[in-house]
Amino acid sequence: MEVFSFDFAWGLLPLMLKYLHVTLIMSILSLLFGLMIAIIITLIIQRRLKILYPIARVYVSFFRGTPLIAQLFFLYFGLVQLFPSLKGMDAFTAAVIGLSLNASAYMSETIRGAISSVDRGQMEAALSVGMTYIQGMRRIILPQAARVAIPALSNNFIDIIKGSSLAFTLGVTEIMATAQMEGAAAYRFFEAFTDVIIIYWVMIGFFGYLQKKIEIKMSKAY
C-alpha cells in the first residue's frame, strides 16, 4: 500500500466539503448566542449585581477552566441523567449550546477589557444628562469598545470554528466525522486528516482576512 494516496485525498475533498455548511452554521450560531450571553455576563460583572455577580464569576471560571470536550460530554451525556426531558435534544443542538457557553466565558472577558479601555468619565457624563446605565452602554461605551474588542472576538470565533470539530464526538456529521468514517472505511487516515487540516486552514485563513478588513474599516472612523 502506498504511503499517501493523492487520488483518495482528492476524491474525498468533495464529500467533506458537502458538510462544510454544518460546521459554518454551528460556528455562526455559537458565535451569536455566545456573544449575547457574554454581553449579559459583562454587564453583571461591571455592575457587580448582588447574587448574580458571584454566579457570573463562577460561570466564567468554570467554562474557562475545564476542557471543551468535557463540557460537551457533560451537557449531552451527563445532564440527561438529571433532567430526563433533555433526552430529546439532538447532538447538533447540544454542540451549539456547549460551544456558545464555552465561548461566552472567553468573550465576556474580552468585552470587559474593551469596556475598561473607554474613559469612565464618558459614562458619568451620560448619566449626568439623564441616560440610564444601559442607554449609556448602548449609545456611547459599547460602540467605542467594539473597535478594541473586534480583534480578540475574531480570535474567539476562530477558536469556535476549531472547537466545532469536537462535535463529531457527540454524533454530529460534519467535516471531522466524515474524515473519521471515510478514513476508517479505507484505512486511509493520513489522507483523510490531511484533507481536514487543509480545509480548516483555508477556512480560518479566510476569516483572518475578513478580520483584518473589518479592523481597517473600523479604524478609519477614528
pLDDT value for 148 = 83
Judged against a pLDDT cut of 70, whether residue 222 lies above it is answered with no
7-11, 50-54, 125-129: segment of lowest average pLDDT: 125-129
What pLDDT, in 10s, does the model give residues 155-176? 999 999 999 999 999 989 889 9
pLDDT value for 71 = 95
Domain ranges of the chain: 21-171
* The CATH number fitting domain 21-171, selected from 1.10.260.40, 3.40.718.10, 3.20.20.70, 1.10.3720.10: 1.10.3720.10
pLDDT value for 59 = 95
Judged against a pLDDT cut of 70, whether residue 193 lies above it is answered with yes
As a whole number, mean pLDDT of residues 70-91 equals 87
pLDDT value for 221 = 55
As a whole number, mean pLDDT of residues 100-125 equals 90
How far, rounded to the nearest angstrom, does the alpha carbon of residue 7 sit from its chain's CA centroid? 34
pLDDT value for 122 = 84
Distance CA(178)–CA(168), nearest Å, equals 9
Q: Which residues make Cβ contacts (< 8 Å) with residue 21, sequence separation at least 6?
A: none
Residue with cell 459599547: 142
Q: Rounded to the nearest 5 degrees, what angle is found at the Cα of 44, between the Cα atoms of 40 and 47?
A: 135
Distance CA(172)–CA(71), nearest Å, equals 16
Of 68, 160, 163, 48, whose CA–CA distance to 112 is shortest?
48
Whole-model pTM: value is 0.89
As a whole number, mean pLDDT of residues 80-105 equals 90
| Mean pLDDT score across all residues of the chain | 89
Query: HSE on the CB side for 28, CA within 13 Å?
Result: 7
Q: What distances in angstroms separate CA 86 from CA 78, 91, 172, one per listed residue?
A: 10, 11, 17
pLDDT value for 192 = 92
Q: Which of 18-32, 77-91, 129-143, 204-218 has the highest mean pLDDT?
A: 18-32
pLDDT value for 10 = 92
